[in-house]
Chains A and B, each alone.
Chain A
Amino acid sequence: MDAPFLIAAVLTLLSAIAAISLRNVVHCALCLTLTFLGLATLYLQLGAQFVGLTQIVVNVGAVAIVIVFAILLTRSSDNPGESRFNKGAIWAGLICAAVFATLVVAINTSYVSMKSGAPAPPLTVEKIGHELMGRYVLPLEAIALLLTAALIGAVIIAMKESNEKGGGQ
């Protein structure tokens, strides 16, 4: 275990736990951003530079901001007396712990061909570009379509009722 991994992993996990457990929703979103950042550094440590930077651009630059906007637009006014957790929170926690235990056992008992990493393969941006335009061109077009559809869909879903309201007034 080397120090950069340890620091990034602890930071990522702690901020993830904070993101799901804090009372203030905006704090949760900010902690989630920290998780994304920690994950990006982990990607960089794994030698996936392009993915790490894309992770920051998309998740920190766009997703976190969208979440924050949604939080402000919905003004989730939890009344302080009410618990922020479900009624069955304990059971859910136990299930999660069980899932984690199962996964750990599975990871440790399974046969893995390569236990420690070989030197990182040089994956240049140029190569990614060639792959995207070559072997993966169909998924690329599909995702372009998906993003366009998502954009239009999101706008329509979020606008529909406000239009009705605007007509009614």
Chain B
Amino acid sequence: MTLETWLVFSAALFCVGLCGALIRRNAIIVLLSIELMLNAANLNFIIFWRYGVNADAASGVMMVIFSIGIAAAEAAVGLALVIAVYRHFKTVNLDRIDSMKG
């Protein structure tokens, strides 16, 4: 297992998330793709912690722990926003949510 393999894998995961965020119409799927990208970034932290020069410092792991916490908060607020938007527009299709002050 080389560092490159891990990094390529996490890059692939990140690009899948990016692709999902760009191509889908459904707001929830877009949020879900952002979640994927966040996780790919987390994976990078862990990889660099594991393959880094100072693995004893545990800073990568700490970063991921905080990142997971933030991701949870982000998911909660993001989905609350989606629900609020749905109440207003009666749809979660991002192409239709195009007017301000609806």
Query: Which residues on A are within 8 Å of B, measured CB to CB?
Result: 1-2, 5, 9, 12-13, 16-17, 19-21, 25, 28-29, 32, 35-36, 39, 42-43, 46-48, 50-51, 54-55, 58-59, 62-63, 66-67, 69-71, 73-74, 76, 78, 82-89, 92-93, 95-97, 99-100, 103-104, 107-108, 112-118, 120-121, 123, 127-128, 131-132, 136, 139-140, 143, 146-147, 149-151, 153-155, 157-158, 160-162
Contact = CB atoms under 8 A, between A and B. Distances in A.
B22 A95 contact: yes
A55 B8 CA distance: 21
Interface string B1-38: 11111111101111111111011111011011101100
16 contacts: A13-B16, A20-B16, A20-B17, A20-B36, A48-B64, A59-B35, A59-B72, A66-B76, A70-B83, A78-B25, A99-B15, A107-B4, A131-B62, A136-B66, A139-B66, A143-B69
B28 A70 contact: yes
Contacts of A114: 3, 51-53
Contact of B92 (A74, A88, A128): A74
A78 B28 contact: no
Contact of A76 (B28, B65, B76): B28
**Interface of chain A, main secondary structure:** helix
Given A51-B65, A128-B61, A99 B18 contact: yes
**Interface of chain B, main secondary structure:** helix
B67 to A, nearest CB: 10
Listed residue (A5, A51, A63) with the most chain B CB atoms within 10 angstroms of its CB: A51
